[in-house]
Structure 1
Amino acid sequence: MVSTVLLVEDTVSLLDLVGGYLRDSGYTVILATNAKDALIQAVQKQPDAIVTDVVMPGMSGFELCRHLKKNPATEQVPIIICSSKDKEIDRVWGMKQGAAAYVTKPFTKEQILHAVKSVVG
């Protein structure tokens, strides 16, 4: 079965890069460039996993996590935070918001794919 991943990233070049990695590995990819759009997409499309940036205009990835985990329609969807915030406190905070995995930028194709595989099987 093909897994669907919602990718949330406000940097278009990274959206293209990670989206390409996921598509090349057989995933269906839904794109969102901000957290508000991601909330709508997550409810409508019910992805198998969500990969989100933290630092975005409007709503952060941490806030997005909290919103998704409070919504019965999306509370079970595993979230992978992908961020340049690489301190241990950021990782701990991300996990407290409900993230299943935390990948720091810069990352390799293998790191991001491993994180997605670890949550969707």
Structure 2
Amino acid sequence: MKTILVVDDTPSELELMTRFLKESGFSVIVATDAKEAMSKAADHKPDVVVTDVVMPGMSGFELCRTLKKNEATQKTPIVVCTSKNQDLDRLWGMKQGADVYVTKPFTQDDLVKAVKSVIA
């Protein structure tokens, strides 16, 4: 079973993504901010990180950069899942290390396809 680390500071979004991924057969670890996510990524070695962008402290874009610079997590695929839906946001996210960019609102199918696309 593949393990997904989901990072979002909004409880309802975190719960929704967790439910969608668990219903699709994934094991899920959650973090409510980027600092917690970095710790859990190092400890649990998830197969994929799914992160929001707008979070207090460190943004999801900063989290992408940090994970990609760290030797232990640099190969972990990252799916950005955010309400920031401008072309420039998408381009910036990919430059920061995101492998896939999903915009909110999303369906279960959108999220699962994004995750599966980086696992394959």
Query: Do the structures match in fold with TM over 0.5?
Result: yes
- Counterparts of 1:63-82 in structure 2 under 5 Å? 63-82=62-81
Q: Counterparts of 1:87 and 1:105 in 2: how far apart (Å)? A: 12
Secondary structure of 2:30's counterpart equals strand
In structure 2, C-alpha distance between the alignment counterparts of 1:65 and 1:3, rounded to whole Å? 20
Q: Which runs of 5+ in 1 are unaligned?
A: none
Alignment of 1:31-110 (within 5 A): 31-110=30-109
Give the 4+ runs in structure 1 shifted more than 3 A. none
Unmatched runs of 5 consecutive residues or more in structure 2: none
Superposed CA offset, 1:35-77 (max 9, x none): 0000000001000000000000000000000000000000000
Q: What secondary structure, in the 3-state scheme, does the structure 2 residue paired with 1:81 have?
A: strand
Match of residue 23 from structure 1? 22
Total equivalences in the alignment: 120
- Aligned to 2:98, the other structure's residue is in SS state coil
Normalised TM-score (structure 2): 0.99
TM-score (norm 1): 0.98
Aligned-partner residue type, residue 39 of structure 2: I
Look up the SS of the partner of 2:67 in the other structure: helix
- Aligned-partner SS, 1:95: helix
Identical aligned residues as a percent: 57
Aligned-pair distance for 1:103? 0.2
Q: RMSD between aligned alpha carbons?
A: 0.5
Structure 1 residue 116, shift from structure 2 partner: 0.3
Report what 2:113 is aligned to: 114
SS in 2 for 1:80: strand
